């Protein structure tokens, strides 16, 4: 089991595609119909590198209507001061 808190939403970037190219905005500003479908934990040297990796998700095979509305939120994970091990 893994439990870690996420950083505040102000530290989040939303990566989507616009005209086939990666498009990054600050956010997210979640609406009630949005649902977290899954997540990946990517350990890398910087927040910018994590954003670059998320931008490549648009290259994954998917139906065009799915790619048109798909996005990834990039958000830092807070480090815990507690060891529940």
- Comparing 23 with 84, the larger pLDDT belongs to 23
Alpha-carbon distance of 70 to 21, in angstroms, equals 13
CA distance 73 to 53: 11
Higher pLDDT, 47 or 84: 47
| Predicted pLDDT at 35 | 58
Q: Looking at the whole model, is its pTM more than 0.75?
A: no
Beta strands per DSSP E along 1-85: 13-18, 21-26, 71-74
Q: How far, rounded to the nearest angstrom, does the alpha carbon of residue 14 sit from its chain's CA centroid?
A: 6
| Tens-place pLDDT, residues 23-81 | 888 876 666 556 566 678 888 999 999 999 998 887 888 888 888 888 888 888 877 65
Cα angle at 36 between 1 and 80, to 5 degrees?
40
Question: Who wins on pLDDT, 5 or 77?
Answer: 77
């Amino acid at each position: 089991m893994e439990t870690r808190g996420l950083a505040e939403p102000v530290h989040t970037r939303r990566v989507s595609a616009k005209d086939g190219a990666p498009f990054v905005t600050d956010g997210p500003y979640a609406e009630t119909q949005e649902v977290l479908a899954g997540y990946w934990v990517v350990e890398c040297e910087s927040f910018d590198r994590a954003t670059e990796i998320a931008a490549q998700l648009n290259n994954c095979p998917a139906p065009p209507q799915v790619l048109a509305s798909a996005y990834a939120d990039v958000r830092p994970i807070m480090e815990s001061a507690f060891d529940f091990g």
